[in-house]
Structure 1
Amino acid sequence: MPAIAVHFMPNDVTVTAEAGEPMVAVAHRAGVSIPTGCLMGSCHACEVELDDGTTLCACISGIPGDRPKITIHLFNDPVW
């Protein structure tokens, strides 16, 4: 299975990952912090937006395997 280039914004950091690899683990490996709360996807503290406009909870999501590169936009929520 080919590696996927994962680009985190606004940090402007890119790392390679495998399809299905936990998004939070990939971010950690890249030195990028994604805030987490419940780790079950219900509090939305870890919500991110993919380059296609899809929003999802990083704590329960894997890296999509449908393209060779993806950009993940991190939100800055002052509450978390």
Structure 2
Amino acid sequence: MTWPDGRTSSARPGQDWLQAARQATVVIPTGCLGGSCGACEIEVNGRMVRACIATVPSSASGRLTVSLASDPFW
């Protein structure tokens, strides 16, 4: 997968997003850690997910591109 800073790493499908980010030394902001606040929203291949409650999906192409969402309230 490719992270917002251009670094690449690999993760297993089904792995927690926060764990995958930590292993890649990428910081994903968090808030409630329960999925309700939205602080950890990331965009994965154009789809928004909340990293604290989502897992790394499988990808037919083997490529995932991650962007951090920006929330004006955080």
Q: TM-score, normalised by structure 1?
A: 0.81
Are 1:48 and 2:14 counterparts? no
Aligned residue number for residue 3 of structure 1: none
Are 1:7 and 2:6 counterparts? no
Q: Percent identity?
A: 40
Give the number of the structure whose residues are more often strand, by fraction: 1
Kindly report which structure 2 residues correspond to 1:1-80, keeping only aligned pairs within 5 A, or say none: 6-9=1-4, 11-51=5-45, 53-67=46-60, 68-77=62-71, 79-80=73-74
Aligned residues: 73
Provide the secondary structure at the position in 2 that maps to 1:13: coil
Instruction: Give distance in 2, aligned partners of 1:44 and 1:17.
Output: 23
Please tell me the residue identity of whatever aligns with 1:34: I
Gaps of 5+ in 2: none
Q: TM-score, normalised by structure 2?
A: 0.87
Please tell me the residue identity of whatever aligns with 1:47: E
Provide the secondary structure at the position in 1 that maps to 2:9: strand
> Which aligned segments of 4 or more residues in structure 1 are displaced greater than 6 angstroms?
none
